[in-house]
Amino acid sequence: MNWIFVGASTIASQHMIAAVRAQPAGAVTWVVSGNADRAQGWATDHGIAQATDDLSQALADPEAACVYISSTNEKHHAQAMAAIAAGKHVLCEKPLGLSLAEADEMVAAARDVGVVFATNHHLRCSGSHRAMRALIDDGAVGRVLSLRIHHAVHLPENLQGWRINDASAGGGVIPDITVHDADVARFLLGEDPVDVVAQLASSGMGQGVEDSCMSVWAMPSGAMVMSHESFTHPFAGSGLEIHGTEGSIFARDVMTQMPVGTITLRTASGTREVPYSDHSLYVQGVADFYAAVAGRGAPAASGSDGIKSLAVAMAVRAAAQSGQKVTVAYGEVA
Ligand code: NDP
């Protein structure tokens, strides 16, 4: 299956080209960038045959069935709409857009045309998160009372560009990391946050956008979620804890792009380490996308999942800015 990569980005270089090439007959045959010279240089560096700054030229290729979008966030909507109109299956980076209206329009258009549309929420593709969900589903912790997400990291220097200084490009830790945490909570607990309270800060990196956020979400079951995201914490490490009536799960270093970290289950019977598969998160995500395109199941995170993670993130930002509790508005399309 041939892919058009839209956005000559870090995530594409570091993970997604390899994830496509790991699939049977998976090939990246085009790169589209805003700059023709950079597109050509990037294509040469990565062994991609065709490069252009004209998205419509790549979309006209009948041999390319799939489009992966990893441009800056403000470009996702227009690029996805063009790809869908060309009849391509789309795997789009999070956040799907800058507004719920954009995300709704993308997902609705894909449904109308009948193409697969997926969101690249990688964490739900990891062996660690899938093992934790299986524990919860099997009743290992009983009724879930709370989830604490620790996702305060240090943004690498090479990524300290639009993310920390350009609100119009979709910068800020909320569109960058809170969306992922919203998806993690939804994936692990199998329910959607109802309302949120939040505080945000610029604690050293954000210029005109927040670089840190803490929020608390109420779930329909009565469970509470506490979520912490930051770009400015060099030594915090990441993790999450799930506490239930019959047990607790402690996961360290699992909010990451790599298949690493530890999971410990503590119950009345004692404490044990939980094994999990160490497959690549991104290879799994693309494999699930392939299966959906072939009509064998759904992508790991659908367009609807992308709308919902964005809805939670937007509610968090609104709550922090207003100082009020905000009910999450998911809209009609999700
Ligand atoms: P980058 O900053 O690396 O790339 C984003 C865009 O910036 C590129 O598409 C490119 O524009 C431009 N760009 C990149 N490098 C250069 C350069 N050296 N000179 C000039 N322009 C450059 O972003 P990321 O890869 O970190 O993120 C891209 C998208 O992927 C975002 O939407 C982000 O939220 C998402 N993401 C998702 C992750 C996940 O695990 N699901 C992880 C990381 C990011 P052009 O489009 O013109 O080529």
For residues 51 and 36, is the Cβ–Cβ distance under 8 A?
yes
pLDDT tens, the chain, 334 aa long:
999 999 999 999 999 999 999 999 999 999 999 999 999 999 999 999 999 999 999 999 999 999 999 999 999 999 999 999 999 999 999 999 999 999 999 999 999 999 999 999 999 999 999 999 999 999 999 999 999 999 999 999 999 999 999 999 999 999 999 999 999 999 999 999 999 999 999 998 989 999 999 999 999 999 999 999 999 999 999 999 999 999 999 999 999 999 999 999 999 999 999 999 999 999 999 999 999 999 999 999 999 999 999 999 999 999 999 999 999 999 889 9
Q: Measured in angstroms, how far is the CA atom of residue 309 from the centroid of ligand 1?
A: 20
Q: Measured in angstroms, how far is the CA atom of residue 162 from the centroid of ligand 1?
A: 9
**Cα separation, 245 vs 329, whole angstroms:** 30
Block residue for tokens 């999700």: 334
Atom of ligand 1 nearest to the CA of 71: 9
Take atom 29 of ligand 1 and give the residue whose Cα is closest: 70
Do residues 187 and 273 share a domain?
yes
Q: Measured in angstroms, how far is the CA atom of residue 12 from the centroid of ligand 1?
A: 8
Do residues 235 and 289 share a domain?
no
pLDDT, residue 206, reads 84
Q: Measured in angstroms, how far is the CA atom of residue 161 from the centroid of ligand 1?
A: 10
**Cα separation, 230 vs 238, whole angstroms:** 11
Domain membership flag for residue 250: yes
Q: Measured in angstroms, how far is the CA atom of residue 45 from the centroid of ligand 1?
A: 16
Do residues 150 and 271 share a domain?
yes
Block residue for tokens 């950079």: 38
Task: Provide the residue range defining the domain that includes 231.
Answer: 124-279+310-327
Do residues 293 and 275 share a domain?
no
CATH number, domain at 296? 3.40.50.720
Q: Measured in angstroms, how far is the CA atom of residue 166 from the centroid of ligand 1?
A: 13
Do residues 139 and 267 share a domain?
yes
Do residues 60 and 149 share a domain?
no
Domain membership flag for residue 305: no
**Cα separation, 61 vs 196, whole angstroms:** 45
Do residues 7 and 94 share a domain?
yes
Q: Count CA atoms closer than 13 A to 110's CA, side-chain side.
A: 28
Domain count, the chain: 2
Q: Measured in angstroms, how far is the CA atom of residue 173 from the centroid of ligand 1?
A: 15
Q: What is the pTM of this model?
A: 0.97
Domain membership flag for residue 49: yes
| Cis peptide preceding 220, ω within 30 of 0 | no
Domain membership flag for residue 333: no
Take atom 43 of ligand 1 and give the residue whose Cα is closest: 11
Atom of ligand 1 nearest to the CA of 14: 25
pLDDT, residue 144, reads 98
Phi, psi torsion values for 162, nearest 5 degrees: -55, -30
Do residues 114 and 153 share a domain?
no
Do residues 208 and 141 share a domain?
yes
Q: Which of 35, 72, 123 to probe ligand 1 with, by most ligand atoms within 8 A of CB? A: 72
Q: Which of 48, 70, 151 to probe ligand 1 with, by most ligand atoms within 8 A of CB? A: 70
pLDDT, residue 186, reads 98
Do residues 182 and 71 share a domain?
no
Atom of ligand 1 nearest to the CA of 257: 40
Do residues 271 and 292 share a domain?
no
DSSP 191-231: S---EEEEEEE--SS-SSS-SEEEEEEE-TTS-EEEEEEES
Beta strands in the chain (DSSP E): 2-6, 27-32, 50-52, 64-69, 89-92, 117-119, 144-152, 195-201, 212-218, 224-230, 239-244, 247-252, 262-267, 270-273, 326-327
User: Residues near ligand 1 with C-beta < 6 Å?
Assistant: 7-11, 33-35, 38, 70-73, 93-94, 120, 122, 159, 161, 176, 257
